[in-house]
């Protein structure tokens, strides 16, 4: 017997026949002897419509608290509809909304981007567990939370995905299934490029990065709660079948944590190339990476300024890379000179929180400043910060950055 959390997005409950099809797919799993918890989003574009209505009626005077209460009506309605449809198919069901005593998801008081109180939620989940053990199918409102004064909060647009993974984690479910309007995760948004191909699987890390950079198919914060032992997949509602294949989200594997700090084992050499107005010249990056790739030299990072580009390579490759890039410089009119810099230590800080934690870069660099450690280069993206410091400072810098993570 498996415990499954199935989340239905807006399109998958977009009209009466879709709701019936979705409820039937849940009942089918239940009849096989599995336990199912449903998480449901607002029907179709209801959330957008509610926002539109309140903008028209009230405009700037609308408070965040009022907006959350109004948006919540989407999920309050869909959970009732879904639960009643399951009952019409002959199986007991209860809708669970923030007004219900069994509601588990507690948050801070931020109405529109509420932060989850994981500890309390993990305790309150017992109520849902009890229902499931009584053979009842709970239908939980996605997207919503309950603040410290009992008020409704929301987890941010697209937040039902977070609800699903959070509940899956707290219930120690076997599987989280995200039911949506595409076959799974594709090589890109299929609504933008028609020839997009379906992926059989994607790692948690890749999915998190894809989502963080705007692929709507899953909320970027949902995977924070992905337990390595829970299997997860994204499938199309059109199949009306929770066993459909779709795309499996795999990992994180043991030892491959979502948040980590690491020090690369060898020194990294910085090779800087300078030239006049390089930023305006087409193809310089391609030239640089091409000539190193031809000789099988791995590039750990590249940074660029108006008049310079720097390539980061393993010290064992640095001499070869230096000579190859020298050839590249003399053959290129725009480029004038290059230098092989000192040996640096590369420290990588990976965390899904980078994108929405103001001041995280200063949190990391401040302890280094206090300890007189000079940062030679810093490269940051939405989920990783890579620091280069003098090789001799590497271990101390790694330990200092590690303290920030803890």
Altogether, the residues listed in the chain come to a count of: 406
User: Measuring CA to CA, which residue among 330, 328, 340, 341 is closest to residue 284?
Assistant: 328
> Considering only 152-160, 199-207, 235-243, 390-398, which stretch makes contact with Mg ion by CB under 5 A?
152-160
Judged by CB under 5 A, does residue 158 bind Mg ion? yes
If one asks whether residue 142 binds Mg ion (CB under 5 A), the answer comes out as no
3-state secondary structure (DSSP) of residue 257: coil
Q: 217, 324, 346, 400: which one contacts ligand ADP (CB under 6 A)?
A: 217
Q: Does 220 bind ligand ADP (CB under 6 A)?
A: no
Q: How far is CA 401 from the centre of its chain?
A: 22
Q: Which residues pair with 76 in a beta bridge?
A: none
Among 63, 66, 88, 188, binds ligand ADP (CB under 6 A): 188
Shortest Cβ 166–ligand ADP spacing (Å): 15
Residue 9 makes contact with ligand ADP by CB under 6 A: yes
CA angle (298, 288, 290) in 5-degree steps: 65
- Is 82:39 a contact under the CB 8 Å cutoff? no
The secondary element (H helix, E strand) that includes residue 347 is strand 335-350
β-strand pairing of 375-380 with 384-390? antiparallel
Do 316 and 265 meet the contact criterion of CB atoms below 8 Å apart?
A: no
Query: Residue 19 CB, nearest distance to Mg ion (Å)?
Result: 17
203 binds ligand ADP (CB under 6 A): no
User: Is residue 10 close enough to count as binding ligand ASP by CB under 6 A?
Assistant: yes
Q: Residue 74: which of ligand ADP, Mg ion, ligand ASP, none does it interact with, CB under 5 to 8 A by kind?
A: ligand ASP
Closest approach of Cβ 178 to ligand ASP, in Å? 10
320 backbone φψ class: left, alpha, beta (φ>0; ψ -120 to 50): alpha
Q: Which of 181, 201, 206, 390 binds ligand ADP (CB under 6 A)?
A: 181
Rg (CA), the chain: 25
Of residues 189, 200, 331, 366, which one binds ligand ADP by CB under 6 A? Answer: 189
Q: Report if residue 41 touches ligand ASP, rule: CB under 6 A.
A: yes
Distance CA 348, CA 99 (A): 44
User: If contact means CB under 5 to 8 A according to the sort of partner, which of ligand ADP, ligand ASP, Mg ion, none does residue 159 touch?
Assistant: ligand ASP
Contacting residues toward ligand ADP, per CB under 6 A: 9-12, 41, 158, 180-182, 185-186, 188-191, 215-217
């Amino acid at each position: 017997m498996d415990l499954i959390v199935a989340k239905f997005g807006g399109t998958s409950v977009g009209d009466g026949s879709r709701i019936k099809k979705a409820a039937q797919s849940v009942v089918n799993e239940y009849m096989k002897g599995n336990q199912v918890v449903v998480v449901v989003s607002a029907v179709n574009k209801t959330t957008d419509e509610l926002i539109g209505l309140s903008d028209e009626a009230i405009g700037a005077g609308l408070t965040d608290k009022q907006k959350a209460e109004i948006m919540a009506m989407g999920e309050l309605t869909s959970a009732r509809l879904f639960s009643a449809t399951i009952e019409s198919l002959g199986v007991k069901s209860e809708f669970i909304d923030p007004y219900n005593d069994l509601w588990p998801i507690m948050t801070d008081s931020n109405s529109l981007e509420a932060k989850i109180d994981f500890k309390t939620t993990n305790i309150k989940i017992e109520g849902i567990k009890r229902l499931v053990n009584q053979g009842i199918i709970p239908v939980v409102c996605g997207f919503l939370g309950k603040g410290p004064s009992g008020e409704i909060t929301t987890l941010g647009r697209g937040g039902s995905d977070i609800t699903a993974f959070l509940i899956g984690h707290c219930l120690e479910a076997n599987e989280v299934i995200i039911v949506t309007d595409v076959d799974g995760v594709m090589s890109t948004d299929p609504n933008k490029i028609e020839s997009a191909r379906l992926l059989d699987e994607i790692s948690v890390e890749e999915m998190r990065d894809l989502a963080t950079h705007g692929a709507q198919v899953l909320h970027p914060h949902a995977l924070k709660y992905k337990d390595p032992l829970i299997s997860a997949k994204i499938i199309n509602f059109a199949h009306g079948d929770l066993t459909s294949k779709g795309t499996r989200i795999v990992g994180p594997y043991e030892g491959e944590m979502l948040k980590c700090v690491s020090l690369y084992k060898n020194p990294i050499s910085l090779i800087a190339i300078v030239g006049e107005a390089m930023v305006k010249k087409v193809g310089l990056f391609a030239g640089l990476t091409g000539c190193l790739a031809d000789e099988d030299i791995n590039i750990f990072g590249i940074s660029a300024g108006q008049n310079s580009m720097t390539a980061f390579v393993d010290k064992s490759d640095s001499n070869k890379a230096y000579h190859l890039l020298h050839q590249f410089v003399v053959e290129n009119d725009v480029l004038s000179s290059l230098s092989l810099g000192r040996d640096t230590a590369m420290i990588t800080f990976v965390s899904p929180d980078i994108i929405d934690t103001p001041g995280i870069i200063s949190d990391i660099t401040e302890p280094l400043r206090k300890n007189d450690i000079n940062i030679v280069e810093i490269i940051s993206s939405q989920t990783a910060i890579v620091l280069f410091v003098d090789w001799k400072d590497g271990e101390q810098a790694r330990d200092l950055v590690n303290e920030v993570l803890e």
